[in-house]
Structure 1
Amino acid sequence: MKTSTFFAGLAVGSVAAAITVLYSTPQSGSEMRSSVATASADLKAKLKDVKGRVNELKESVSDFANQNVQPAIEGVKDSVGGWRTADEGSRNRLENEIQEIQSAIEELERHVAAQHNH
């Protein structure tokens, strides 16, 4: 369940409970207005608290991401860099071996041609 959905449900439930209590209790007009004003103030305070908690949650998630995800990304970058370096060394070694094979083939062709001409 998403946290924002939970807090929204909490706020809606609080409003519904306040309205139910207000309308189910027999009161005079001035008492009703006073109750509504009190319930409204309580609701505003609860919503402010919910908003503060949501902001704290956002900060916690952001801190978690910065502390845990960023090092993992750096580790992957380092691994890829190391792989590229290793790959470049292998590529250079393979190019040298291919060059040596080509030189050996050319030498063999010259040797066969010289044997054939004799």
Structure 2
Amino acid sequence: MKVTNFFAGLGAGLIAGAVTAVLSTPKSGEELRTSIKSSGSEWKESMNELKARINELKESINHLTEESKTQVPEAVDGLKASLQSWQEGTAPAKEHLQLEIKAIQNSIEQLQAAISKDKDAEEKKKDKPTKIDPKKAENKDDSETA
């Protein structure tokens, strides 16, 4: 709904209401004419004030529109520049963190390999029968009997 249509309807309704109110009052012809003239001049003043306010509103909207056309792109450009400088500032830290992550991953892989070698070695020791040195066995037997 357009604003002009709204105000045109509002004005027509006000005029119709005023005419109905004036004509429905019991007055003499002279009083009625005087009343209509004064009401008409009051309505003209009211309509002129309404037009002035509408024009002020239009001017304000136009001013805000023009202002936003310049300020919004400037703000967007400023945000883009800030984002780019932030990305450039954090790039070395990002690269450093990536290198640290790779080093940690390599260390974990080396630890896993060492752990699996140790487990394999322990399993081989458990699977091999232990060789008994006869001299040590004799010493054990002598010490047990003594």
Q: Is the TM-score greater than 0.5?
A: yes
**1:1-118 matched pairs, under 5 angstroms:** 1-72=1-72
Output the CA distance in 2 between the equivalents of 1:75 and 1:11: 42
Counterpart-to-counterpart distance in 2, 1:27 and 1:52: 34
CA distance in 2, matches of 1:7, 1:50: 9
SS at match of 1:36: helix
SS of 1:27's equivalent in the other structure is coil
TM-score by length of 1: 0.57
Which has the higher Rg, Structure 1 or Structure 2? Answer: 2
Separation in 1, partners of 2:33, 2:56: 34
Deviation at 1:17, TM superposition (A): 0.8
Question: Which runs of 5 or more structure 1 residues have no equivalent in the other structure?
Answer: 79-118
| Larger RCO (CA within 8 A; separation ≥ 6) | 1
Q: C-alpha separation between the residues in 1 aligned to 2:4 and 2:57?
A: 10
TM-score by structure 2 length?
0.47
- CA shift, 1:66, in A, is 1.1
Q: Report the Cα offset of residue 58 of structure 1.
A: 0.9
Shift of 1:2: 2.5
Supply the distance in 2 between the matched residues of 1:2 and 1:60 (Cα, whole angstroms).
Answer: 17
- Cα distance between partner residues in 1 of 2:46 and 2:9: 12
- Secondary structure at 1:62 match in 2: helix
Taking every aligned residue pair, what percent have the same amino acid on both sides?
40
- Give a deviation string over 1:65-116, Cα, whole Å, max 9, x none: 111123346789x7xxxxxxxxxxxxxxxxxxxxxxxxxxxxxxxxxxxxxx
After superposition, the C-alpha distances for 1:38-73 in whole angstroms (9 at most, x for unaligned) are 110111011111111111111111111111123346
> Partners of 1:8 and 1:70 in 2: how far apart?
34
Give the secondary structure class of the aligned counterpart of 1:25: coil
Q: For the aligned residues, what is the CA RMSD?
A: 2.1
